[in-house]
Amino acid sequence: MPRRDLSSERIELRSIESEHLDEIHRYQNGECKMEISSILNFDPPWAPLSKDQIKAKLDEARKEDRTVLTGIWSDQNEFIGLAFFGAAWDPWNPHIQVLIWPDRRRKGFGAETARLLLEASFNHYLAHVVGCSLPDWNEEGIAFAESLGFQKQGVRRRAGVFDGDFYDLVYLDILRDEYLSVRSKEGDD
């Protein structure tokens, strides 16, 4: 029988409830302002959000067709980040985003979350390609996406401003057969 949940041995994707707003608010008004603003589709991304604004943006995301925004929990039942899946524009080509809180990074949680989203996209949804986008200054994020099998597809020049300088937005994607090839190599290890 196919797996119906989004979990692994170390993480689980769950709905975001009212009691999680404090933590999202803390990170959006701190170290993860740009990332959370991107996930919540809030512009300008540098502006702080109130808890009420965050709740309203979460409610908006829940109403979007073919859009999923979840919390990420560790096997220790700690809320460690956010995961986004959006296919409102094109169900064959969803877009994913993964945000792990800074103090929980470099522990494999982001990779596991991305793999769960890719598995759901390719094995339980219509996707033939999954995309993501990152600012060019986020070299670690781009390297992370490439380590999962994503390939650079293009650049939107001068997509935004960060610290007074323009940055480009790098678009990456992975095709279904590329994902299956990566998965088979992981199984060989």
CB atoms within 10 A of CB 166: 11
What are the structure tokens assigned to 139, written together? 């070299």
- Which single residue is written with the structure tokens 């103090």? 103
Distances 35 to 77, 93, 124, 137, 188 between C-alpha atoms, Å: 23, 21, 27, 13, 34
Cis peptide before 45 (omega within 30 of 0): no
Residue-range domain boundaries for the chain: 12-188
The pLDDT tens digits for 54-85 are 999 999 998 999 999 999 999 999 999 999 99
C-alpha 27/C-alpha 142 separation (Å) is: 22
- Which single residue is written with the structure tokens 């995309």? 131
pTM: 0.90
The pLDDT tens digits for 103-146 are 999 999 999 999 999 999 999 888 999 999 999 999 999 999 99
CATH of 12-188 given 3.90.1150.10, 3.30.950.10, 3.40.630.30, 3.40.50.720: 3.40.630.30
